[in-house]
Every structure is written in structure tokens, then in C-alpha cells.
């Protein structure tokens, strides 16, 4: 799928089906995990799209990103956005249950990713409807394979749904008091720096290939550009979050 983030659209309904036992964030991370290996390597991520990789490396990768989310990104983003939704992990029993829920969430999320990709790709991931997916259809005067239309189409459809879910969550859990101006300035500065670093990384990658090569392999280069952007942006954003946590602990933003 060209838009890894689109996989996360399944997390909220799965969390609701579990009656809140499975954490939404851990489910979202699990849904994206098979593609996240591309943030650390130049490989195409084929190994993580196999069912025998469910435990390793997928579970391990998912746990790493869950640690980053719950210990760094979540606290910082909630301060930036003025959200109040504490995890309520005050007792050992609830903490153990939360950890187990995170592990199950990652495994469930990874499984949905493999199933989704298996129904929208024609390669080693395909497990059903291969003949149908291999057919071509006419769109806008051009011929496209069905599997490619499904990959891009489901990604595009899922993104606005995911945005709507995020907006609904924000409206539900935003704090009554406004976010301080210092925090706002830091957040906007970090966002700008993160975007610029990602854009520069894409430019630095793209400048080595001619326009004709890009057009001939548009799907591949689009996916690679997203990965290049994500790699650079993740490094800058993570560093900025750590600096913010240090300054916040020193009460710089009070």
C-alpha cells in the first residue's frame, strides 16, 4: 500500500470491538508495523509481509514503536495539542493487563495488514483472487491492473476517514484551558523543521533520477519518497520531542 498510514484506519473499530481492552494506539502501530522496517533499512520489507514473521521481527518492531509512542510521542503531542486522556495505569494489575493488551494489539494489527495487502497485491502476499487482481480495467482512458487500483484506491478512501477519527478524538479529549504560547511556538517550530527536513531528504533522493525514470516507475518512487521523508522527519521530530520533555521538566514552558 502506498500510504502506510491508511492501514491505521482499522484501529478504532477494532478497539471498540474489544470493548476498550485493546489500546487504539497499539492497534494502529500494529496495523502499520510490516511497513515500518523501511524506516531503518533500504530493503523492500518483503520479509515482514510473511505470516512466519508475525512474532519476529514484526512483534519486536511494533513493541519498539509502542515504547516510542507511550513514553515520548504521546506525552509530547498531548501537551502540544492540549489533550487530556490519561492511561489510568495506577495499579500493577492494570499495568500488566495493558502490556498484554499492547502485545495482542500488535499481533492483531499486523494480521490485518497482511490480509489487506494480500487482497490488494499480486505477488508473494496474494492468497486469494489472484486472477481477478491480475486483470486490467480502463480508467480515464488508461489501462490499470485491478490490484494497483485497489492499493491506491483503498489508501485514498481510508485517509479522510482516519483524519475524521482524529478530529473526533481531539474534540472529545481536549483540555478546557488553552495551550500556553510558549508550547505553541515550540510545537509550530518543530513541525516546520520536521517538514523541511523531510522535504530536503526527498529532494536529495530524487535529484539522482531523471524525470523519465520517475514517470516509468512512479509507484515505486512515490513509495520510496514517502519512506525518505518519514526517515528524516522521524529523526528530527524525535529529537525535538526529547528536547521538549527536558525543557518541560525544567518548567521552561510554565
Q: Which residues pair with 83 in a beta bridge?
A: 174
pLDDT tens, 73-122?
999 999 999 999 999 899 999 999 999 999 999 999 999 999 988 888 87
* Cβ neighbours for 182, distance < 8 A, ≥ 6 positions apart: 252, 253
Cis status, amide bond into 61, omega within 30 of 0? no
Length of the chain: 254
Selection from 49, 51, 58 nearest residue 123 by Cα: 49
Give backbone dihedrals phi and psi of 22, rounded to 5 degrees, phi first.
Answer: -90, 120
Selection from 205, 191, 174, 175 nearest residue 236 by Cα: 191
Residue ranges of the domains in the chain? 4-177, 180-254
Q: Name the pTM for this structure.
A: 0.90
pLDDT tens-place values along the chain, 254 residues long: 446 888 999 999 999 999 999 999 999 999 999 999 877 776 666 789 899 999 999 999 999 999 999 999 999 999 999 999 999 899 999 999 999 999 999 999 999 999 988 888 877 676 777 777 788 887 777 788 888 888 888 888 898 999 999 999 999 999 999 999 999 999 999 999 999 999 999 999 999 998 888 888 887 888 788 889 999 999 999 999 999 999 999 999 98
CB atoms inside a 10 Å sphere around CB 81: 15
Is 29 exposed, middle or buried, given 0-12, 13-18 or 19+ CB atoms closer than 10 A? buried
CB distance 141 to 155 below 8 Å: no
Amino acid at each position: 500500500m502506498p500510504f502506510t498510514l491508511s492501514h491505521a484506519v482499522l484501529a478504532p473499530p477494532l478497539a471498540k470491538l474489544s470493548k476498550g481492552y485493546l489500546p487504539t494506539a497499539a492497534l494502529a502501530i500494529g496495523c502499520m508495523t510490516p511497513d515500518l522496517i523501511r524506516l531503518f533499512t533500504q530493503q523492500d520489507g518483503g520479509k515482514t509481509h510473511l505470516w512466519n514473521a508475525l512474532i519476529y521481527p514484526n512483534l519486536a518492531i511494533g513493541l519498539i514503536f509502542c515504547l516510542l509512542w507511550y513514553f515520548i510521542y504521546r506525552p509530547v503531542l498531548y501537551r502540544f495539542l492540549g489533550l487530556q486522556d490519561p492511561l489510568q495505569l495506577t495499579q500493577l494489575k492494570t499495568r500488566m493487563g495493558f502490556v498484554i493488551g499492547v502485545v495482542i494489539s500488535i499481533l492483531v494489527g499486523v494480521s490485518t495488514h497482511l490480509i489487506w495487502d494480500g487482497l490488494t497485491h499480486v505477488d508473494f502476499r496474494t492468497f486469494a483472487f489472484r486472477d481477478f487482481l491480475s486483470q486490467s480495467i480502463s480508467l480515464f482512458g488508461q489501462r490499470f491492473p485491478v490490484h494497483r487500483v485497489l492499493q491506491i484506491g483503498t489508501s485514498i478512501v481510508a485517509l479522510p476517514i482516519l483524519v475524521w477519527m482524529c478530529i473526533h478524538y481531539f474534540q472529545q479529549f481536549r483540555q478546557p484551558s488553552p495551550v500556553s504560547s510558549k508550547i505553541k511556538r515550540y510545537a509550530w517550530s518543530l513541525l516546520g523543521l520536521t517538514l523541511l527536513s523531510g522535504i530536503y531528504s526527498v529532494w536529495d533522493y530524487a535529484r539522482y533520477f531523471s524525470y523519465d525514470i520517475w514517470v516509468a516507475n512512479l509507484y515505486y518512487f512515490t513509495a520510496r519518497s514517502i519512506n525518505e521523508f518519514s526517515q528524516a522527519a522521524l529523526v528530527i521530530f524525535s529529537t525535538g520531542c526529547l528536547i521538549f520533555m527536558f525543557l518541560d521538566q525544567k518548567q521552561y514552558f510554565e
